Structure 1
Amino acid sequence: MYNSFRPGQVWLDTDGNRIQAHGGSVMYIDGTYYWYGENKEKSDGKNGIWQWGVRCYSSQDLYNWKSEGIIIPANTDDPESPFYYKNQMDRPHIIYNKKTKKYVCWVKVMHKDDTQTETVLTADSILGPYTIVNEDISPLGMSAGDFDLAVAPDGKGYYYFERVHSETICADLTDDYTDLTGYYTTHFPHRFPPYVREATAHFIRNYKHYLLTSGTTGYFPSPSEVAIADTWHGPYTVLGNPSPQDTTKTSYYSQVTSVFKVQGKKDLYIACQDRWLPNEMNRKYEDYAKTFEQFFNPAMKDTKPDNLDDVVVANTSIADYVWLPIRFVGDRPYIDWHDEWSLDDYE
């Protein structure tokens, strides 16, 4: 039994197995928290298995998590399926539609030609079964990378995503959340990685909208960036790195996946982050960031980037989690390191 959070340490479920819920999020439903994400239990970096479906856990206290099983299974027969176990299916995010009474899940799929599309599924329960209702879509005609989904109090849905290697897009969802209306706004334009923002996580506090993002360095960690706005579509003002004391420039060797507010707490928000490469923490951000720029910056096309193939397909079955509380000074959020912390530390 756990009674505290210990960021970066191995986190086991109530059966004694590593928690496998990467790149996902946490939902609070009828007094229970549900944490879901990519199941990487078989992704050892050698066998070609990228993911083994989407797994979900339940908890009453946020420390101890019971496995509810695989809610979207991997496909082992059809290489064309978005859930084929060797396909790069990432970042499942689920929202609930009060009108249709459906749970709507979007996932990202990266293809061999480096384009990225989305697949949408629905279910009557958070635990499934889920049915594909919209497959292999290019949102707004764009290659769409890491993303987040959000719902306004009036039921309007929003989709925040990285237009691959370019900018961040905020787009309106259709009423059933399974597609886009066509209306969108653009934010944070950059010419190439590692500066392009991805892994967008949206949250609201005191009527202010926040977007917490990472840089584009694959499984390697990068400096986070936070931006603030008065409305869903912004305009967003970049506030900078929320962890200025992190001299490694790696967001504590992790990448953000989502942010949620703790029920019953006055002002406690938790930044949920994946530590994808716990065995690669000796690498310096400045070194591999330069390599990524050499890959994508046309002005550096004559330079030969370092080879990062040894961790491009990595052993993510041992990826850990870095859950940290967000501290606010006025409207500005900060994420500080804690070796261990507890919900009891907050009102």
Structure 2
Amino acid sequence: MYDSFHPGQIWLDQEGKRIQAHGGSVFYLDGVYYWYGENKEKTTGDNNIWHWGVRCYASTDLYNWEDKGIIIPPAPDDLRSSLHPSSQMDRPHIIYNKETQKFVCWLKIMHKDGSQTVTVLTAEHILGPYEKVRENLRPLNMNAGDFDLVVADDGKAYYYFERVHSETICADLTADYTDVTGYYSTHFPHPYPPYVREATAHFYRNGKHYLATSGTTGYLPNPSEIAVADTWHGPYRVLGNLHPADNSDTSYHSQISSIFKVEGKKDLYIAVADRWMPKHMALDYNKYSKIFENRFNPNATEQIEVDDTLLKCILDKNTSVADYVWLPILFNGERPYIDWKESWKIEDYE
């Protein structure tokens, strides 16, 4: 039994197994927290398995999690399916539609040709079963990367996503939450990685909308960024690094996937993050970020030597041993920031 969080350490479920809910989010329903994400238990890097479905866990204290099983199973017998284990399925997000009384799940799918689409599923309960309602969706006819889904108090829903290697988009969802309406706004334009923002996570506090994002360096971590706005569509004002005390410029060797407010707490928001590469924390961020810039910048001239250590890391695809970094968000006025904590308790916050 756990009675506190231990960021970056191996986190086991109540059966003593590694929790597999990567790129994950937390949904609160009827006194129970549901933590769901990519099941990477078979993604060892020596096979062609990118995922083994979406797995979900349940908890009443946020420390100890019961495995509720795979709520969206893989489709190993259908090579053309976006749910085939070799399909690069990432970052499930589930929202609830009060009008249709359906849970709606969006999945990001990366294709071998470099394009990225969305698969949409619905269910009558958060634990499923889920039925596929859209596949190969190209929202706004764009390549749609990492994203977040958010429902406003009035029931309207919004889709924040990376227009791949370009900018961040905020798009209105249709009334049933299974598509976009066509209305959207653009934010944070950048010419190429690692500066393009991905892994967008939205939260709302004291009348302000916040977007936390990371740069684009694959599974290797990079400096986070936080921006604030008065409305869903902005304009967003960049406040700087969300992890300002982290001298490694790696967001404490993690990438945020979502942010949620703890029920019953006045002002406690938790950033849910993955430490995708726990075996490679000694790498120099500035060096490998230059590799990404050289790859995508057509005018790049600086040559970066890739030594054996860096090459080994870049080629390492074993995400079955990825860990989690859950940390509380602190505030200085309207400015959010995250400090490192070896361990911490919910009970220490109002």
* TM-score relative to the length of structure 2: 0.97
How far has the Cα of 1:87 moved from its partner? 1.0
1:311 counterpart SS class: helix
Residue among 307, 317, 335 paired with 1:314: 317
Per the TM alignment, residue 314 of structure 1 is displaced from its structure 2 partner at its CA by 1.2
The residue aligned with 2:165 is 165
Cα deviation for residue 290 of structure 1 reads 0.2
Alignment match, 1:338:
341
Q: Which residue of 1 is the match for residue 37 of structure 2?
A: 37
Which residue does 1:71 correspond to in 2? Answer: 71
The letter for the 2-side match of 1:217 is: T
- Maintained 8 Å contact 2:290/2:304: no
Distance 1:302 1:247 in 2: 24
Give the alignment of 1:83-94 within 5 angstroms: 83-94=83-94
Residues 233 and 77 from structure 1, CA distance in 2 versus in 1: closer, same or farther, beyond 3 angstroms? Answer: same
Q: Which runs of 5+ in 1 are unaligned?
A: none
Q: 2:54 is matched with which residue?
A: 54
2:268–2:328 Cα contact (<8 Å) kept: yes
| Separation in 2, partners of 1:283, 1:75 | 36
Runs of 4+ residues deviating >2 angstroms: 301-313
Q: Paired residue for 1:328?
A: 331
Q: Secondary structure at the match of 1:325?
A: strand
**CA distances 1:46-94 after superposition (whole Å, capped 9, x unpaired):** 1111100000000000000000000000111111111100111000000
8 A Cα contact 1:71 1:128, kept in partner: yes
Output the CA distance in 2 between the equivalents of 1:313 and 1:114: 20
Paired residue for 1:16?
16
| Cα separation, 2, equivalents of 1:284 and 1:333 | 26
**How far off is 1:202 after superposition?**
0.3
Matched, 1:249 2:254: no
The 2-side partners of 1:221 and 1:304 are apart by: 18
Aligned-residue offset at 1:24: 1.8
Mapping 1:89-128, distance limit 5 Å: 89-128=89-128
Query: Partners of 2:18 and 2:40 in 1: how far apart?
Result: 10
| Structure 2 counterpart of 1:183 | 183
Q: How many residues align?
A: 347
8 Å contact 1:165–1:193 — kept in the other structure? Answer: yes
Amino acid at match of 1:287: K
Asked whether the 8 Å contact 1:295–1:305 carries over to 2, the reply is no
* Preserved CA contact (<8 Å) 2:287 2:304: no
Q: Deviation of residue 311 (structure 1)?
A: 3.3
Query: Retained in 1: the 8 A contact 2:21–2:36?
Result: yes
User: Judging changes above 3 Å, is the alpha-carbon distance between structure 1 residues 320 and 331 closer, same or farther for their aligned structure 2 residues?
Assistant: same
Provide the secondary structure at the position in 2 that maps to 1:300: coil
SS class of match (1:160): strand
- In structure 2, runs of 5+ residues without a counterpart are none
CA distance in 2, matches of 1:19, 1:332: 32
CA distance in 2, matches of 1:269, 1:176: 28
Q: Any idea what SS the aligned residue of 1:295 has?
A: helix
Q: Does the 8 Å CA contact 2:228/2:238 hold for their aligned counterparts?
A: yes
Partner SS, residue 299 of structure 2: helix
Partners of 2:66 and 2:136 lie apart in 1 by: 32
% identical aligned pairs: 67
